[in-house]
Amino acid sequence: MLNSTRNFVSSDMETAPLLEVRNLSTYYVSASGTRIVRAVDDVSFSLRAGETLGIVGESGSGKSTLALTLMRVLPPAAQIVSGAMRLEGEDLVGKSENEMQHIRGKRIAMILQDPMASLNPLFSIGDQVGETLRQHEGASRRSAWQQAIGLLKSVRIPAAETRVTQYPHEMSGGMRQRIVGAIGISCEPRVLIADEPTTSLDLTIQAQYLNLLDELRKEHGIGLIFITHNLGIVAKMCDQLVVMYAGRVVESGPVRQVFNAPAHPYTAALLSSIPRMSNRRKRLIAIDGQPPDMSNLPPGCAFASRCPAVFERCRNEAPPVFTPAPGHTARCWRSAPEMAGSVAMSVGALS
Amino acid sequence: MRHYIAKRVGYSVLSLLLLSLTIFLFIRLTGDPASLLTEPGASAADVAAIQHKFGLDRPVWVQYGLFMFNLLRGDLGDSFYYQTPVLELYQSRLPHSLLLGVVAMGFSLVLGIPTGILAAIRVGRFWDSAGKLFALLGLSLPSFLVGLLLILFFSVYLEWLPSSGSGTFWHLLMPAFALGWYFAAAHMRLTRSSMLEVLGSEYVKLARLKGLPEALVIGKHAFKNALIPVLTLAGINLIQMINVAVVVETVFAWPGIGRLLYEGVTFRDFPVVQGVVILGGSMIVVVNLLIDIVYALVDPRIRLEQ
Amino acid sequence: MSVTTIPAALPMRTRTARMTDVPIIPSAILAIAVVVAIFADFLAPHDPQVGLLTARFKPPFWMTGGSTNHLFGTDQLGRDVLSRLIFGTRVSLVVGFTAVIFAGAVGTTLGIVSGYLGGWVDQVIMRVTDAWLALPALTFAIFLAAVVGPSEMNIVIILGLVYWTRYARIVRGEVLSLKEREFVRLAIVAGCSKWTIMWRHIMPNVINSSIVLATLMLGIVIITEASLSFLGVGVPPPKPAWGVMLSDGKQGLMVGYWWLTVMPGTCIMLLVLAANLLGDWLRVKLDPQLRQL
């Protein structure tokens, strides 16, 4: 499944990461200041040029807030409370709104979940695609229009010359999604974040769109971040994987490594819930229970109440980040060095 | 779409029928329609003529048929006071009402839209609260009271503006403001809520993600979309205004339809009262229908519906 | 993120307003108005309908020519403005409350029947509602007043006839969604009659919306009554209604007898403002779904 064509990743592993996130936290504070939701809590990861990073988690796990934090377009109630994010070595947290505006859409771009609602119904496709170019590259109206036609062609939209003059309602869902993709790559950003890019598309179009994004990544050496709850897509598309639960990164590492030897019971449970040809006779294991109340997290591990491999320490003490293997991290007491023997056994029993 | 429009036309025709039936029945409910439909102190011959015209001695459904027959011919009866057909009177007053309505609408939009936008982009903060206060005052100060206070201030004390009549631009200012005042509050509320909805939309989010400056995000992407429901309401309100203007037109002696209605009531000129109500209600039904049809033509979701 | 729970019991009045954070100023205004209306006979220093023609257009007491005998001055017939305002409060409140309750009772009942029974009953009620809503409220009220002639009682009936449609529309919408709820289905399965279901199960759940709407309508109804009285088709003079006082005051306005306009105007504004503020508060408290009103 993990194809080997993804060789754009430079073999020189020492190059500085394109995007580096260290201990990033974003909290929502209610108007009265009494309720705090730690939507993104102490998140770290890094992304290299040409690499694809998958961020997975249930809805409400903080993955979308993480994306908005990276773009610095948080709603007023949310704020970055600590941590750092560096794009090509440049800090983004300290940037003013004005400076961020020149980075957004130009060096780091994002594709939203809902292609139907992402385009403004009142402006032509050409206007909306060319808008970014006019803003960031200072393109004239005419040249932006011409470049928009080119962009539509590059995302395989037939009859691009007539399509630019049309309005969103005249397009199919798959076509709109590709247009949103074209807007995302219009200024050749270094990092492209795709938030649940395929949820509203049917399967054939999904596959086409994923291939398209992969090709764009290869062509332009983009660092691609995939936010999804679909591990099948992660297996197909990604090099690195970050698993989020209740605002925290519970496990991260190279996709193959994490898939073969999940260190966190949550990841293991997620993996066992992917329907696979080989094990379709087996019953899918559903994860019991509900995700915790984000404004009132338990003192220990947030997954403890649902964890099949829970033990006393999990309930009282939040696990720090352990490194079960080089490049592979997990926030689970079972990955603690002193627990070495028992982990594989209990997690293995799950899958 | 043809089906949709046919259905809307059907409903509108039904509404018009029910309107006429309502008015017809209320007049009959008083027990003595002849006394309403004839001039006070009319001769026996006049009363007999009216009784014949409306078939007052015949069964109710025949009466309704005659009533509708006259209506469809455009015969709304003659004014007792002016001795001219009501329809003609109405037509001669309509331009004044339209002029007042359009200028009042201008006032209400100029006041309501910017304050609504300001309240939406500063939601929960000072300008939002100020906007709420403004909306509340708009709904709580009846337009005739605003009119009287304007007269007191600008005509009596400052002696800047004429207190009544029509003819010049200056005559128009106070009535238009008094009439626009109430609607400004309504337009402000709608602008605010519609702007808030648009600001939460995915396409506004995308506009921000594109790195557009906030002024462009609001001025281009949000503004145009937020304005659609406001302008729709303004269209409906323009007709409402012409009909609601009765108190303002009375205060300022503005010769529009509202004033005509007031005269009708004061001079016990019943055909005029009845005519204004029927024509006013019909205008609103027809304008609502037209707005629906325009929407059907513009909105692809309705247009493509089978 | 949150857990959806399915209510096991009947959701009768799921939200009740906490009485601790009632907005003080509007409630105080309304309370004072009610007290003034009830005790008008004791509070008013003069007869509101009788005046001395020798004491016409006296200004309020703080102006030159005014006296403490007539605190807020006198009108064109020498009647005491304060006393007229006090009795006017009674007219406004009595007409306002009864009209709102009348319209609310008719509209809520028809809304429930229309929404629950559906079919041709629904069609008839909703078509009439649509047609009546097309008539501008004030124009319609003036027409009715011209037909039946002015009196306090008639005004209440007229306002009820003009405004019930607003309740019917909203209540019907609520009933349509309540109809699909578990507890109504249970009641149907349990063999309750249609009327029992409407009265016992539906009505208590829509009453909140009706109350909120009634509070919001109170201001509108008071303004409409004042407008009708101002135009001379409302409460017939010499009865001291605020709208009548404004109409009378117009004669003195051009010569600068401002108190005849400003005093009743302020009363109307305060009362309507208080009703609107309370209505807004109730709407947020009792029925967040009505916020779009």
Q: What is the domain-level CATH number for residue C60?
A: 1.10.3720.10
Looking at the structure of chain C, the number of domains it has is 1
pLDDT of residue A284: 47
| Low pLDDT (below 70) residues in chain B | 30-31, 298-306
Give the Å distances, CA to CA, from A79 to A27, A55, A69, C284.
Answer: 6, 21, 8, 28
* Torsion angle in degrees (nearest 10) through CA of A315, A316, A320, A324: -50
Give the closest of C134, C226, C256 to B19, CB-based: C134
- On whether any CB of chain A is under 8 Å from the CB of B225, the answer is yes
Chain B, 156 to 215: residues with Cβ < 8 Å from chain A are 201-203, 205-213
**Do B32 and B120 fall within a single domain?**
no
**Do B162 and B55 fall within a single domain?**
no
Cα-based angle B248, B267, C245 (whole degrees, multiple of 5): 50
Contact list, B15 vs chain C (CB under 8 Å): 127, 130-131, 134
Note whether A156 and A187 are within 8 A (CB): no
Give residue-wise pLDDT tens across range C90-112.
888 999 999 999 999 999 999 99
**Do B220 and B164 fall within a single domain?**
yes
Q: What are phi and psi of C165, to 5 degrees?
A: -60, -35
C271 domain-assigned: yes
- Residue corresponding to tokens 């019943």: B270
Q: Do C227 and B247 touch (CB under 8 A)?
A: yes
**Do B16 and B151 fall within a single domain?**
no
The widest CA-to-CA distance across chain C, in whole angstroms, is: 77
Give the Å distances, CA to CA, from A322 to A30, A57, A307, A340, B176.
Answer: 33, 19, 18, 11, 73
Q: SS in 3 state form for chain A?
A: CCCCCCCCCCCCCCCCCCEEEEEEEEEEECCCCCCEEEEEEEEEEEECCCCEEEEECCCCCCHHHHHHHHHCCCCCCEEEEEEEEEECCEECCCCCHHHHHHHECCCEEEECCCHHHHCCCCCCHHHHHHHHHHHHCCCCHHHHHHHHHHHHHHCCCCCHHHHCCCCHHHCCHHHHHHHHHHHHHCCCCCEEEEECCCCCCCHHHHHHHHHHHHHHHHHHCCEEEEEECCHHHHHHHCCEEEEEECCEEEEEEEHHHHHHCCCCHHHHHHHHCCCCCCCCCCCCCCCCCCCCCCCCCCCCCCCHHHCCCCCHHHHHCCCCCEEEECCEEECCHHHCHHHHHHHHHHHHHHC
Label the pairing between strands A78-87 and A90-91.
antiparallel
pLDDT of residue C106: 94
C4 domain-assigned: no
Residue A276 and residue A268: Cα distance in Å, rounded?
A: 14
**Do B142 and B195 fall within a single domain?**
yes
B86 domain-assigned: no
Q: Which residue of C has its CA nearest to B252?
A: C250
Q: Do B244 and C231 touch (CB under 8 A)?
A: no
- B contact test, residue of A65, A110, A120 with most B CBs within 10 A: A120
- On whether any CB of chain C is under 8 Å from the CB of A291, the answer is yes
CA nearest neighbour of B79 among B279, B284, B278, B261? B261
Please, what sign has the CA dihedral across residues A81, A82, A84, A90? positive
pLDDT of residue C260: 82
Cα-based angle A95, A96, A99 (whole degrees, multiple of 5): 80
Domain span at residue B12 reads: 1-81+272-306
**Do B256 and B215 fall within a single domain?**
yes
Give residue-wise pLDDT tens across range C24-64.
888 888 899 898 888 888 887 877 777 777 777 777 877 77
pLDDT of residue C51: 73
Q: Do B202 and A114 touch (CB under 8 A)?
A: yes
- A contact test, residue of C1, C2, C4 with most A CBs within 10 A: C1
Contact list, C3 vs chain A (CB under 8 Å): 290
Q: What is the domain-level CATH number for residue B223?
A: 1.10.3720.10
Q: What are phi and psi of A209, to 5 degrees?
A: -70, -40
Note whether C141 and C159 are within 8 A (CB): yes
Q: What are phi and psi of A126, to 5 degrees?
A: -60, -40
> Interface partners of B (3+ CB pairs, < 8 Å)?
A, C
Q: Is the pLDDT higher at C3 or at B62? A: B62
Contact list, A180 vs chain B (CB under 8 Å): 206
| Number of Cβ within a 10 Å radius of residue C58 | 22
**Do B104 and B69 fall within a single domain?**
no
Residue B241 and residue B98: Cα distance in Å, rounded?
A: 9
CA nearest neighbour of B273 among C141, C156, C230? C141
Looking at the structure of chain B, the number of domains it has is 2
Give the closest of C227, C250, C272 to B148, CB-based: C250
**Do B218 and B293 fall within a single domain?**
no
Label the pairing between strands A19-29 and A108-111.
unpaired
Q: Which long-range contacts does B149-155 make (Cβ < 8 Å, 24+ apart)? A: B149/C261, B149/C262, B149/C265, B150/B174, B150/B177, B150/B178, B151/B251, B151/B252, B151/C253, B151/C254, B152/C253, B152/C258, B152/C261, B152/C262, B155/C254
Q: Which residue of B has its CA nearest to C234?
A: B265
> To the nearest whole number, what is the mean pLDDT of chain C?
81
- Rounded to an integer, what is the distance from CA B200 to the centroid of its chain? 32
Residue B29: exposed, middle, or buried by beta-carbon count in 10 A (0-12, 13-18, 19+)?
A: exposed
Note whether B148 and B251 are within 8 A (CB): yes
Contact list, B276 vs chain C (CB under 8 Å): 139, 143
Contact list, C2 vs chain A (CB under 8 Å): 293
B210–chain A nearest CA distance, Å: 4
pLDDT of residue B303: 57
Cα-based angle B228, B229, B230 (whole degrees, multiple of 5): 90
B209–chain A nearest CA distance, Å: 6
B131 domain-assigned: yes
**Do B37 and B132 fall within a single domain?**
no
**Do B167 and B30 fall within a single domain?**
no
B245 domain-assigned: yes
Structure-token pair, residue C95: 């007409």
Domain span at residue C86 reads: 39-286
Query: What pLDDT tens digit does each residue of chain A (351 aa) get?
Result: 344 444 444 444 446 788 999 999 999 887 777 778 888 988 999 998 889 999 998 877 888 889 989 999 888 888 888 889 998 888 888 888 888 888 998 899 998 877 778 888 888 888 899 888 888 888 888 889 988 998 888 888 888 888 888 888 888 888 888 888 888 888 888 899 988 766 666 777 777 778 888 888 888 888 999 888 888 888 888 999 999 988 889 999 999 998 888 888 888 888 887 665 554 444 445 566 777 777 778 888 888 888 888 888 888 888 888 888 888 998 988 888 776 555 444 444 444
- C contact test, residue of A59, A290, A297, A306 with most C CBs within 10 A: A290
C180–chain A nearest CA distance, Å: 27
Note whether B206 and B222 are within 8 A (CB): no
Residue C171 and residue A143: Cα distance in Å, rounded?
A: 56
Residue A272 and residue A257: Cα distance in Å, rounded?
A: 15
Give residue-wise pLDDT tens across range C147-188.
888 788 889 999 999 999 989 988 998 888 888 888 888 888
Contact list, B215 vs chain A (CB under 8 Å): none
